[in-house]
Amino acid sequence: MLDVTLTHLATLGSSAAASTAPIQTGSAVASTMHVVAATGVAVVPTVFEGAANTVAVIVLLLEFMMLRTALFRAQIRLYAFQSLAVSVLAVVVAAGRDIPELYVLAVVSLLLKVIIVPRVMLRFLRDSRAEIAGSGALGVASEIILALVVAGFGFFTVGALGIQSPVLPTAALGLSFAVVLVSFVLMIVRRDVVSQAVGFFSLENGVSLASLVVAAGLPLILEVAFLFDLLVAVVVFGVLIRVHQTRSSSLSTVSLNRLRG
């Protein structure tokens, strides 16, 4: 089952990555068809657009991997990789659009999201003996299928809106919405605090992706403010995870069901 879904995933990935190749054949995939349809002419994507879309696909694939990973530490490592991909995208955009500020952002993002945040999270987990997340609300296969549907919905909906400009890699914008939606799936179906927290952090990665794609010129000071806000949120998440762990001796959220009505 998993293989099948991963094949689906690969198809989705290649559909976006396909826009990196010159469009000559009739097998243009939906996303590229959309570009063609919207602009009226089949444009040859630039290297920048291709690179941006490829990184966006990698971010989405890593999001799917988080969804199927059961080990807490592996999940946090995947988050670090995803953040690394986003930092790489910052470099790509900096070079492609000639915005030197984004190199600084890439470095800050690398420091915070690839090194500090995962370390902080792992430190919070150090005292925990739990290694494996409890079972999710759904089986892994169903989770992936659900996530595929949701990701497809996000990707094509944003595509259908026809938001475009000469400097915008359209597929990457759709992919960033897909990442956000899949991170919601991760938060909803997983029943442990670590997965839910990582789900939120990866949601932020999806938003960063969108920000790099559509708002590359956003002043650096604001981007950095966003990142530091994330850091504060990480600390608060960590504190609450610690409190929850001390209180219920587990990382599961199953016991958090008393407040209703």
Partner 1 sequence: MNVVLLLIVVLPLLAIAVGLVVGRRVTQLVTGLSGIATFGLAMALIPGVGGHEIGHRVSAIGILRADSLSVVFVLATSFLYAATAIYSVGYLAAEARLAERLGGDEAAEFARYSRRFYVGMNIFAWSMLCAPLVNGLALLWVAIEITTVVSALLVAIDNTEGATEAAWKYVLIASSGLGIALLATIVMYYAGAQAMGQSYDLAFDPLIQSAHDLPATPVRLAFVLAVVGFGTKVGLFPVHTWLPDAHAEAPTPVSALLSGSLLAVSFYAILRFYQVALARLGPAFPQNVLLVFGVLSLLLAALYVIDQNDIKRLLAYSSVEHMGILAIGVSFGAPLALTGVLLHVLAHAAAKGNAFMGAGVLVRAYGTKSLTTIRGGLDRLPWSGPLFLIAILALSAFPPFGIFRSEFEIVAGGLQASRHTGAVILVALVTLAFMGLGLATTRILFHSSHPDSSTHPDDIPAHDDDGQAVDVRATRPRTTLVPPHNSNNPDTDTVLSGVAAATATSVRVTSARGLFAAHPAGARQPGERVSAAADDPNERLVDEMARTSSGRGEPSIWMVIPPVVGVLILLVLGVHPPAALVELLEHGAALLVGGAQ
Task: Count Cβ neighbours within 10 Å for each residue of 221-238 and write b for 16 or more, e otherwise.
Answer: eebbebbeebeeebeebb
| Interior angle at CA 49, CA 226 and CA 29, nearest 5 | 115
Query: Which residue among 1, 47, 115, 256 contacts partner 1 (CB under 8 A)?
Result: 256
Q: For partner 1, what does the binding mask look like between residues 64 and 103, x meaning CB under 8 A?
A: -----------------------------------x----
Tell me, letter by letter, the H, E, C secondary structure of 129-189: CCCECCCCCCCHHHHHHHHHHHHHHHHHHHHHHCCCCCCCCHHHHHHHHHHHHHHHHHHHH
Residues 143-172 that bind partner 1 (CB under 8 A): 161-163, 165, 167-168
Q: One symbol per residue from 192 to 211: x for binding partner 1 (CB under 8 A), - otherwise; what is it?
A: -x--xx--x--xx-xx--xx
Can you give the length of the chain in residues? 261
Restricted to residues 217-236, the positions that interact with partner 1 (CB under 8 A) are 217-219, 222, 225-226, 229, 232-233, 236
> First CA to last CA across the chain, in angstroms?
39
CA 224 to chain centre: 19
**Shortest distance in whole angstroms from residue 115 CB to partner 1:** 21
Between 141 and 243, whose beta carbon lies closer to partner 1?
A: 243
Q: Closest CB to partner 1 among 126 and 247? A: 247
- Which DSSP helix (H) or strand (E) runs through 251? none
Q: Is 60 in the site for partner 1 (CB under 8 A)?
A: no
The residues of the shown chain that bind partner 1, judged by CB under 8 A, are 99, 161-163, 165, 167-168, 177, 180, 184, 187, 193, 196-197, 200, 203-204, 206-207, 210-211, 214-219, 222, 225-226, 229, 232-233, 236-237, 239-240, 243-244, 246-249, 253, 255-259, 261
